[in-house]
Amino acid sequence: MTSASTRATEPPADTLFKLRVRIIPAIREVWQRRELVRTLAERDLRVRYKQAFLGVAWSVLTPLALMIVFTVFFQRVAKVDTGGAPYALFTYLGLLPWTFFSTSVNQGGQSLVTNNQLVNKVYCPREVFPLASMAVAAVDTLLATLVLGLLFVITGFMPKPTSVWVPVMLVVQVTFTFGVTLIMSAVLVFLRDLRHVLPIILQLGLFATPVAYGMDVVAPQYRVLYSALNPLAPVIDGYRRTILLGLPPDWHLLGPGAVTSALLLAFGYVVFKRLEPGFADYA
Amino acid sequence: MRDGEIRATGVWKRFRADRQRQLLRDQLDRMKRRLAGRSNAHGYRWALRDVGMAVGPGESIGLIGPNGSGKTTMLRLLAKVMYPYAGRVAVGGRVGALIDVRAGIHPDLTGAENVYLYGSLLGVSRREVARKFDEIVAFGELETAIDRQVKFYSSGMHVRLGFAIAAFTEPDVLLVDEVLAVGDAAFQQKCLDRMRAVLAQGTTVVFVSHDLQAVESICERAVWLRDGVVESDGPVRDVLGDYRRTVEQAAEILTPAFGLVRVVKSEIRGPGGDTPVSQQPLEVKLLLESPEPIWASMSIGVSEGPATPIFLLGHEAMLPAGQTELRCSIPFLPLPRGRFYLWFGIIESTRDLVPWHPVGQFEVLGPELTPTPRGILRMAPVQVTPTWEVEER
């Protein structure tokens, strides 16, 4: 037994805990616990539908309402060049990826804080919380996509065969969204008041992204830079080109967007892993 | 590292003194201070200091200590929920942690939905949960409530649900933090039985509790944490004995600041005026001083240290003004060998003439207490000498 008086008041410097971020084993662990992501997403969905009277309709309501607003205002006020496609379809194709992104970042960004009871008490790879939020957002998007089908029927407009390119854009979209969500969730644990700023930033983001308008608003010489800064822009543009216009994606724009997305995800994952030891202490 | 092994060396852990404030403003403040070359060290308090612990597979170890001594923090480090500031923590095999069983349970979901949710959180596959579902429900005695939302559960049912799931996850190391306190007596016994069964399968158990009897009935070894430092580590009875004595010493310092009647002197004697002996007569003498004549209902209690007596003796009498000697004899002392404490109080519904407080301690000679088999909760060390006969028929 050591008496308290002879005890050091600080740990010896050479024993300080050093964090080693090992990405591959970390990813493997998340993969092993993929069932947990599903269960957590299921929990959030079940809880939401138990509490909400309108249930499934909520998933569809947000993009639908915005679509109607945009259609009513933008179509009348500003003449947007849709390349001949109905404006409702044009803007809805922008709203789908945007809503997925904004819900993911908003919900996933707060996921470590809202799940602090679990972060504090149960061990699991912490990535599951933002991932589960994204899964919920994905379900919403899927439901909202059913409405897209309905819109095609109503407008009598047929999707073009070039729609087979859609998965390429989808990969870029998910990569970018995941990267931003990871960074947001990790940083939010330490900067709590960011929680209140986040909705405002996302609100502005909606207008910095070609949702209501098309890529042609941006001067041609800035489009590459714009795509690199906001990968959602070439993604949305790609969806419109392939589904509505029968064109292949604009690779000169999608390429930089994909590079940014990949770099952002890699950076975000490292940030997340580096901040992870503090989550339980502060969440 | 073998499965079920725990090795912690030189573990330090600190928390920010003010844990609530995580605002942008505070972070900027900290950054400014760091840039100015001043350290932020004063803003921390140590939860664990240089804690070492080595536990072999299949061992059962109890973590004891007062509130805020670092027990739960240690458990969280073992569970990998938290990371140490310095030192190494290594745990072999799968860890099952029961740190606040209510954490993983969502009030809006039904019991059944929660079984799957909590199972997943503890790392059990859905298939495995489905296979054991009926067993889990039966163990938690939740057959009639399993399809109800958990927010309509009583707090006892809540804990039963949590423990039932966790008890069936079959980890290599089971960490249990103060979860038995909420259930009723029958369920507590069930939990203890379950933990014993788990131990018999070779699982390592780390058990945190304020219920020293429960610790004693489960664990072979105990580690006593005090202000984040290991105060003692050894066989459970020795450590618990030390711990109870210290709790008592802390109580003794608090000689009552109020009370009309004062205890001037106390004396405890065994046969012939010597040290008390197990199974022999015992005499207690108390010298009381009262400023006025008073009708007093007096209580004398004997405990191992805490305020909860093993047995209690009560008597009512008239105390005249001035000093009075109170003598109390019992013909047969039912205590085993060890150190015990005498508590005294004159307690009325309207006022405490003498608050309940320790007035003396004494050693008892005689036989050791009959050892308790694991999983049986003994409330107090009362030693009774029986006669046994085993006859072949």
Question: What number is the average pLDDT over the span B342-360?
Answer: 80
Question: What number is the average pLDDT over the span A152-168?
Answer: 91
DSSP strand pairing (B60-64 vs B204-208): parallel
Give the start-end residues of each E strand in chain B.
Answer: 6-16, 44-55, 60-64, 86-91, 95-99, 173-177, 204-208, 221-226, 229-235, 262-269, 282-290, 294-303, 311-319, 322-330, 338-347, 352-364
Q: Does residue A126 fall inside a structural domain?
A: yes
Domains, chain B, ranges and CATH? 6-36+45-249 (3.40.50.300), 256-364 (2.70.50.60)
Provide, as residue numbers in chain A, all residues whose Cβ is less than 8 Å from the Cβ of B125.
Answer: 35
Q: Does residue A64 fall inside a structural domain?
A: yes
Of A11, A121, A190, the CB nearest to B10: A11
Provide, as residue numbers in chain A, all residues whose Cβ is less than 8 Å from the Cβ of B109.
Answer: 43, 46-47
Q: What confidence score (pLDDT) does residue B109 get?
A: 85
In whole angstroms, give the CA distance from residue A160 to residue B178: 63
Q: Do B86 and A190 touch (CB under 8 A)?
A: no
In contact, B61 and B206? CB cutoff 8 Å:
yes
Question: Which residues pair with residue B96 across a beta bridge?
Answer: B174
Return the residue of B nearest to A50 by Cα.
Answer: B108
Rounded to a whole number of angstroms, the distance from the CA of A113 to the nearest CA of chain B is 11
pLDDT tens, residue by residue, A18-77 = 877 888 888 998 998 898 999 999 988 888 877 666 667 777 788 888 888 888 887 777
Q: Does residue A18 fall inside a structural domain?
A: no
CB atoms within 10 A of CB A35: 17
Give whole-number Cα distances, B378 to A156, B188, B303, B311, B393, in Å: 80, 13, 14, 14, 33
DSSP A14: G
Could you list the residue range(s) of the whole structural domain that residue A226 is in? 44-282
Question: What number is the average pLDDT over the span B64-93?
Answer: 88
CB atoms within 10 A of CB B90: 11
pLDDT tens, residue by residue, B108-143 = 888 898 888 888 888 888 888 899 899 889 888 888
Q: Does residue A4 fall inside a structural domain?
A: no
Range of weakest confidence among A199-208, B3-12, B255-264: B255-264
In whole angstroms, give the CA distance from residue B305 to residue B303: 5
| Residues belonging to chain A with any Cβ–Cβ distance to chain B shorter than 8 Å | 1-2, 4, 7-9, 11-12, 15-17, 19, 33, 35-36, 39-40, 42-43, 46-47, 50-51, 117-124, 189-194, 277, 280-282
B19, B22, B29, B238: which to substitute to probe chain A, counting the most A Cβ within 10 Å? Answer: B22
Q: Does residue A37 fall inside a structural domain?
A: no
Rounded to two decimals, the pTM is 0.79
Q: Does residue A265 fall inside a structural domain?
A: yes
Looking at the predicted complex, does its ipTM rise above 0.90? no
Burial of B243 per CB tally in 10 Å (0-12, 13-18, 19+): buried
Q: What confidence score (pLDDT) does residue B39 get?
A: 57
DSSP A15: G
Q: What confidence score (pLDDT) does residue B151 get?
A: 86
Instruction: Write the CB contacts of A115 (distance below 8 Å, at least 6 apart in sequence).
Output: A129, A283
Q: Does residue A192 fall inside a structural domain?
A: yes
In whole angstroms, give the CA distance from residue B252 to residue B249: 5
In whole angstroms, give the CA distance from residue B310 to residue A101: 64
Phi and psi, residue B20, nearest 5°: -75, -35
State both tokens at A59. 């998933």
Q: What confidence score (pLDDT) does residue B248 get?
A: 62
| Rg of the Cα atoms in chain B | 26
Return the residue of B nearest to A197 by Cα.
Answer: B24
State both tokens at B283. 């005499």
Q: Do B87 and A191 touch (CB under 8 A)?
A: no
Give whole-number Cα distances, B110 to A39, A45, A238, B158, B182, in Å: 14, 14, 43, 11, 20
Q: Does residue A14 fall inside a structural domain?
A: no
Q: How many domains does chain A have?
A: 1
State both tokens at A28. 């493997």
The full DSSP string for B114-161 is HHHHHHHHTT--HHHHHHHHHHHHHHTT-TTTTTSBGGGS-HHHHHHH
Q: Do A122 and B22 touch (CB under 8 A)?
A: no
In whole angstroms, give the CA distance from residue A155 to residue A149: 10
Phi and psi, residue B176, nearest 5°: -125, 125
pLDDT tens, residue by residue, A82-115 = 778 888 899 999 999 999 999 999 999 999 998 8
